[in-house]
Structure 1
Amino acid sequence: MVMEAIPFVLVGVLISGFIQAFVKDNWIARIMPKNRVLAILFGCGIGMFFPSCECGIVPITKRLINKGMPLHAGIAFMLTGPIINPIVLFSTYIAFGNDWEMVGIRAGLAVAVAFCVALIVSLTFKELPFRVQDGQAAAGTEQVSVRKGRPASIGKKMYEVIVHAIEEFFSVGKYLVFGAFLAACMQTFVPTSYLLHLGSNPVTSSLVMIALAFLISLCSEADAFIAASFRSTFTVGSLSAFLVFGPMIDIKNTLMLLGTYRSKFVFVLIALVTVFTLAGSLIVGRIFG
């Protein structure tokens, strides 16, 4: 799991470094819709352009929020980015036998869940729930870049990207390694059969698949192949719960979230994602059988 996730964490921290060095605060403020609903939809949509899984999305989101993106838009991006990016959708298409139906279900349910969660977050949390507010540090970096009345050279900005990426990588990486260790323990000591026999009705089967997605902590680029192996055992609704919940919340990124955001915010976020994923999967099960 560590070897599978590290490349995507590396991509995430490098993107975070580029955002820190090259993206100005007023640029994000200029393109971000002022309307709350439109801002959340904007956050849901830009995930298509960031090929990052749930392992690398946390530092990217933190950097965007510190650069001026509203919390609700950032959370919408963080939840949908690991699911609706082209790499994940294409892997889902291949895993389910070149079937676009499951691709559409996965993407649609992800956007619906993220929208509902982000909307409630925007009404509940009025201040940024970071453990450490680094907005002042970012501002200091900006001042260093423009001191003496001239912008920093490309070389200095690239150096800034690398330094920031290294610091972010080791900051996030320790949570990734510990989370992967816990997930491996779960896979080793908790037999999957204990979970499978509970999937006798739509509610319990969706809850089982949500729990399974959390425990085995697969990367979103690979989880569709595991989900496809359960097609003969679980319904479309419960499979959609697995495909949506896992990339949003698993052991690895829960620890990363706890290292970035305050505990209360993380627990509320997990509860909201669980409730809306369960509800959405039941609706999917009713529609698609």
Structure 2
Amino acid sequence: MKVNKVWNTVGIILFVFILALFLTGDRWNLEAAAAFKNVNTIFVSIILEALPFILIGVLASALIQTFVSEDQLKKWIPKNPFLAILPAAFIGALLPICECAIVPVARRLMKKGMPVHVAIVIMVTAPILNPVVFASTYYAFQTEPIIYWGRFVLAFIFALVIGLLIYFTWKNANPLKGQASHHHHHHHGPRNKWIETIQHASDEFFDMGKFLILGALVAAIVQTFLDRAILVEVGANTILGPLSMMGLAYVLSLCSEADAFVASSFGSQFSVASILAFLVYGPMIDLKNTILMLAYFNWRFVLRYIAIVTGVVFVGILLFQGIL
């Protein structure tokens, strides 16, 4: 798709710029040398911590995409529209697929007859409720169990609510565009499947890498140059804190295997609820995901989906703050 080509170009330019910046930074006679060093330190630490989990995640995702078919997934879903939501969430938990890769999977499930709300539950749970993301979140917040457990409990509950709301507001209407699928799978043997697995893993790694670099850079710059008092004030606000972190998650479009490391860098300025808003909202919907959804689904469905996810996460986080 043309969108992917644009993102690839932007990612390459950004990578070259940052590389040149860090390689030549010590030659610059700048008064802001200390600030630059701080940006560099935060940026590199986020990248190094996140990379192992991205590698594990893309490999697991590629294996799932190649060897697990949509027909196999459909067999595990009950016919009853309400009973189907719970197993759909558990299926999502078993699929370590990032939020961009799960969109075409959800589309194919719908084309094969899976109810829209059930496919959506799988789409919102797969990027969050899987072992790789749990491991990365645990590693980033080892001393704060309320965050790594809270992320998964809240995401699970929110996914069920989102599924119900999609069912009641969309019913059996078709959300899909009439275009042909961009993904053609022709398996002729084990060798072809392994080649396809490697291709999937490679594509996802470079796709995730672009957004990880951008997210790490933005996080480093914000923490270095934005007045810390402002950050603390916004982060402590029960309304602005979650909203600002949800907005940041939407714009950064980080993969769920790496977002915990960016979120942890804001831990001293933002409340637990705000951090959880970032960690739950981003994998469910972000800018990159919106662009992909608009390629597969009609715009009315995409807008309704964004409104439902945003409302459920925001209200849910406010209720969670009340419990805390």
Q: Report the TM-score range of the alignment, normalised by the length of the smaller protein.
A: 0.7 to 0.9
Q: Say whether the 8 Å CA contact 2:211–2:254 is kept in structure 1.
A: no
Counterpart position of 1:106: 151
Q: Tell me the CA shift for residue 212 of structure 1.
A: 0.9
Counterpart position of 1:90: 135
Aligned counterparts of 2:108 and 2:79: Cα–Cα separation in 1? 19
Q: State the TM-score, normalizing by the size of structure 1.
A: 0.75
Q: Does 1:132 align with 2:178?
A: yes
Q: Tell me the CA shift for residue 156 of structure 1.
A: 5.4
Say if 1:163 and 1:130 are closer, same or farther in 2 by CA, change over 3 A: farther
Aligned counterparts of 2:115 and 2:198: Cα–Cα separation in 1? 23
Q: Does 1:285 align with 2:321?
A: yes
Mean Cα deviation higher: 117-126 or 96-105: 96-105
Q: Say whether the 8 Å CA contact 1:8–1:56 is kept in structure 2.
A: no
Counterpart position of 1:155: 188
1:83 aligns to what SS in structure 2? coil
Counterpart position of 1:57: 102
Q: Tell me the CA shift for residue 8 of structure 1.
A: 6.1
1:279 aligns to what SS in structure 2? helix
Residue of structure 1 aligned with 2:242, choices 206, 212, 215: 206
Q: Tell me the CA shift for residue 105 of structure 1.
A: 0.7
Q: Say whether the 8 Å CA contact 1:213–1:242 is kept in structure 2.
A: yes
CA RMSD after TM alignment:
3.9
Counterpart position of 1:220: 256
Counterpart position of 2:29: none
Q: Tell me the CA shift for residue 55 of structure 1.
A: 2.3
Aligned counterparts of 2:284 and 2:80: Cα–Cα separation in 1? 25
Counterpart position of 1:151: none
Q: Give the letter aligned to residue 149 of structure 2.
A: G
Q: Say whether the 8 Å CA contact 1:8–1:55 is kept in structure 2.
A: no
Identical aligned residues as a percent: 37
Aligned counterparts of 2:247 and 2:149: Cα–Cα separation in 1? 23
Counterpart position of 1:48: 93
Aligned counterparts of 1:122 and 1:166: Cα–Cα separation in 2? 35
2:173 aligns to what SS in structure 1? coil
Q: Tell me the CA shift for residue 272 of structure 1.
A: 0.8
Q: Tell me the CA shift for residue 209 of structure 1.
A: 0.7
Q: Say whether the 8 Å CA contact 1:82–1:247 is kept in structure 2.
A: yes
Aligned residues: 266
Aligned counterparts of 1:78 and 1:245: Cα–Cα separation in 2? 13
Say if 1:42 and 1:134 are closer, same or farther in 2 by CA, change over 3 A: farther
1:79 aligns to what SS in structure 2? helix
Q: Say whether the 8 Å CA contact 2:93–2:126 is kept in structure 1.
A: yes
Q: Tell me the CA shift for residue 124 of structure 1.
A: 2.0
Say if 1:60 and 1:13 are closer, same or farther in 2 by CA, change over 3 A: farther
Q: Give the letter aligned to residue 124 of structure 1.
A: T
- Unaligned runs of 5+ residues in structure 1 are 146-153
Q: Tell me the CA shift for residue 12 of structure 1.
A: 5.0
CA distances 1:184-210 after superposition (whole Å, capped 9, x unpaired): 7x949x957498454452011110110
Q: Give the letter aligned to residue 175 of structure 2.
A: P
Aligned counterparts of 1:7 and 1:55: Cα–Cα separation in 2? 16
Q: Tell me the CA shift for residue 29 of structure 1.
A: 4.8
Q: Give the letter aligned to residue 116 of structure 2.
A: L
Say if 1:156 and 1:16 are closer, same or farther in 2 by CA, change over 3 A: same
Q: State the TM-score, normalizing by the size of structure 2.
A: 0.67
Residue of structure 2 aligned with 1:75, choices 117, 120, 127: 120
Say if 1:218 and 1:86 are closer, same or farther in 2 by CA, change over 3 A: same
Bigger share in helix = 1
Q: Tell me the CA shift for residue 158 of structure 1.
A: 7.0
Q: Give the letter aligned to residue 76 of structure 1.
A: V
Q: Tell me the CA shift for residue 127 of structure 1.
A: 2.3
